[in-house]
């Protein structure tokens, strides 16, 4: 059974850390610059009152991410238990879009619009974070999971949600190796080297739609070097 992993955030204007159920916590960040910080997810008790849910995706999110302009598909649907646990924190599961699919529901990743123009990012266990859509719309998000489905112990999954206009992400390791990843429907993912450490990508780079280069540190769980099984 996969062990609980600590959430890791880099320069994130963190509004809420969500660990809505037991399971593997993934590393996820919104790239807003600044110093690296870490946080460990703790279980939160949903409020007793039902939060007001957004009835539609905000204009800012819709204008920044093409994935929210397409019709929802069956793959976007959260399972009933996860959907139930999202509603009390003001995130509407009916508006969710899947970022990374997997046969094991625990290792699926979703973007879920929330109230007050928030955008939440969660895995299939309910671990993740919410942040202002205005930040996500400019910087995107970036995460990693060393225990994702169908990985060897020497691999780690790196993934993200990129705003419109970003076609490719470059992942660079300390040893200089570069992995180029194509962005499709705002989403990208790559299985890359986890060990040795100098072969593990530590930066993600892309060119924004305004033509500005951007480079961010890839967040990894403090347990990235520990076995998953």
Structure tokens at 56: 């539609």
Which DSSP string do the residues of 78-118 spell out, in sequence order?
Answer: PPHHHHHHHGGGTB-GGG-EEEE--SSGGG-EEEEEETTTE
Chain centroid to CA 156: 14
CA distance 199 to 168: 20
Q: How many CB atoms within 10 Å of residue 70?
A: 11
Q: pLDDT at position 17, please?
A: 41
Q: Give pLDDT, residue 11.
A: 26
Going residue by residue through the chain, which has 229 residues, state the pLDDT in tens, using 9 for 90 and above: 333 343 333 223 333 344 444 333 345 555 444 333 333 333 334 444 456 888 999 999 999 999 999 999 999 999 999 999 899 889 999 999 998 898 988 889 999 999 888 999 998 988 888 889 888 888 888 889 898 888 899 999 999 999 999 999 999 999 999 999 999 989 999 999 999 999 999 999 999 888 889 999 999 999 998 988 7
Q: What is the pLDDT of residues 142-169, one digit of tens each?
A: 889 898 888 899 999 999 999 999 999 9
Cα-only R_g, the chain: 16
Question: How far is it, in rounded angstroms, from Cα 103 to Cα 150?
Answer: 9
Report yes or no: 190 and 158 within 8 Å, Cβ to Cβ. Answer: yes
pLDDT tens by residue, 94-111: 999 998 898 988 889 999
Q: Tokens 């060897």 map to which residue?
A: 152
Please tell me the predicted confidence (pLDDT) of residue 174. 96
């Amino acid at each position: 059974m996969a062990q609980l992993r600590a959430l890791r955030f880099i320069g994130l204007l963190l509004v809420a850390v969500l660990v809505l159920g037991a399971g593997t916590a993934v590393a996820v960040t919104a790239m807003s610059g600044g110093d690296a910080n870490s946080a460990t997810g703790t279980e939160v008790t949903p409020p007793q009152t039902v939060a007001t849910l957004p009835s539609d995706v905000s204009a800012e999110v819709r204008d920044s991410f093409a994935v929210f302009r397409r019709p929802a598909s069956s793959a976007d649907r959260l399972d009933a238990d996860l959907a139930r646990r999202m509603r009390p924190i003001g995130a509407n599961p009916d508006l969710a879009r899947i970022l990374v699919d997997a046969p094991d529901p625990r290792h699926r990743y979703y973007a879920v619009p929330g109230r007050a123009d928030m955008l939440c990012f969660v895995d299939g266990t309910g671990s993740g974070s919410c942040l202002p859509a205005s930040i996500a719309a400019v910087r995107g998000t970036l995460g990693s999971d060393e225990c994702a489905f169908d990985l060897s112990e020497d691999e780690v999954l790196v993934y993200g949600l990129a705003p419109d206009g970003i076609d490719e992400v470059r992942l660079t390791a300390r040893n200089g190796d570069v992995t180029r990843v194509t962005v499709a429907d705002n989403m990208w993912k790559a299985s890359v080297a986890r060990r040795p450490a100098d072969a593990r990508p530590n930066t993600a780079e892309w060119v924004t739609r305004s033509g500005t280069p951007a480079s961010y540190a890839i967040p990894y769980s403090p347990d990235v070097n520990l076995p998953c099984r």
